[in-house]
């Protein structure tokens, strides 16, 4: 599950990377959590950046239904909660890392990000007001910590993901684990759990007895 992530790039640089104007009020964020506003790129009527709440809930859902942070790639096209958004409202969720929380062993949070620190896009779905991040099975690096990971789109696939004229099956084919070799896992402090949003949240914290989570060269 991807419930907290980072989008700490300078807004102007983020806008250049995705070829759109920066959303008004956009600020670098190091700890985006459920219910908070974050940057996404929407397709219609032309690609544009907008701030939406992290958590998707269709208008027809019951009032007491919980907004969903994640949608599984294997079922999003068919599950009623996400089906219409998968067909008509796909988006790019702008990020440069995400946090996972180990369930065994050394339980310090891990920050996963590209080796070069560059921003990227999670595959996302949106409804008016909110969005969800699509998840896929983990690559070998992430599998050490969690059994799912967010679907990171290759840059060449971003436009295709936003193309709502494409059939759901073609869009689904873009959803796959990101290669381990392009990522690093950084052991970070518990500040992320407490909701802090500053540079200390993403700073590496050494393991008490050495490196208990070496970077997996993976594939």
Burial level of 12, CB count in 10 A (0-12/13-18/19+)? exposed
Convert the pLDDT of each residue in 178-199 to its tens digit. Answer: 999 999 999 999 999 999 999 9
Q: Are 109 and 101 in contact (CB under 8 A)?
A: yes
Tell me which residue of 26, 185, 203, 39 sits closest to 99, measured CA to CA. Answer: 185
DSSP β-bridge partners for residue 130: 53, 127
For residue 165, what pLDDT is reported?
Answer: 86
Convert the pLDDT of each residue in 57-106 to its tens digit. Answer: 999 999 999 999 999 999 999 999 999 999 999 999 999 999 999 988 88
Q: Which two tokens stand for residue 157?
A: 């696939």
pLDDT higher than 50, residue 214? no
At a CB cut-off of 8 Å and minimum separation 6, what does 169 contact? 77
- CB count within 10 Å of CB 195 equals 11
Q: Are 119 and 94 in contact (CB under 8 A)?
A: yes
Give the residue, 165 or 32, on which the prediction is more confident: 32
Domains of the chain: 5-202 (3.90.1680.10)
Convert the pLDDT of each residue in 99-118 to its tens digit. Answer: 999 988 888 999 999 999 99
pLDDT higher than 90, residue 6? yes
Confidence band, pLDDT 50/70/90 cuts, at residue 217: very low
For residue 210, what pLDDT is reported?
Answer: 54
Tell me which residue of 47, 123, 37, 122 sits closest to 85, measured CA to CA. Answer: 123
């Amino acid at each position: 599950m991807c419930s907290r992530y980072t989008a700490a790039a300078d807004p102007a640089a983020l806008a250049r990377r995705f070829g759109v104007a920066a959303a008004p009020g956009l600020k670098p964020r190091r700890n985006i959590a459920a219910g908070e506003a974050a940057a996404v790129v929407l397709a219609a009527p032309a690609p544009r950046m907008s701030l939406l709440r992290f958590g998707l809930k269709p208008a027809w859902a019951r009032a007491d239904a919980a907004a969903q942070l994640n949608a599984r790639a294997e079922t999003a096209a068919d599950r009623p909660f996400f089906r219409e958004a998968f067909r008509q409202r796909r988006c790019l969720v702008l990020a440069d890392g995400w946090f996972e929380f180990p369930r065994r062993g050394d339980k310090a949070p891990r920050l996963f990000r590209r080796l070069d620190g560059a921003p990227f896009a999670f595959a996302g779905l949106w409804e008016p007001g909110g969005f969800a991040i699509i998840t896929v099975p983990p690559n070998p690096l992430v599998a050490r910590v969690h059994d799912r990971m967010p679907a990171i789109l290759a840059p060449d696939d971003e436009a295709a993901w936003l193309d709502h004229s494409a059939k759901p099956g073609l869009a689904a084919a873009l959803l796959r684990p990101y290669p381990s070799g392009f990522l690093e896992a950084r052991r970070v402090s518990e500040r992320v759990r407490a909701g802090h949003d500053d540079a200390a949240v993403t700073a590496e914290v050494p393991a008490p007895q050495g490196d208990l989570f070496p970077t997996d060269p993976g594939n």
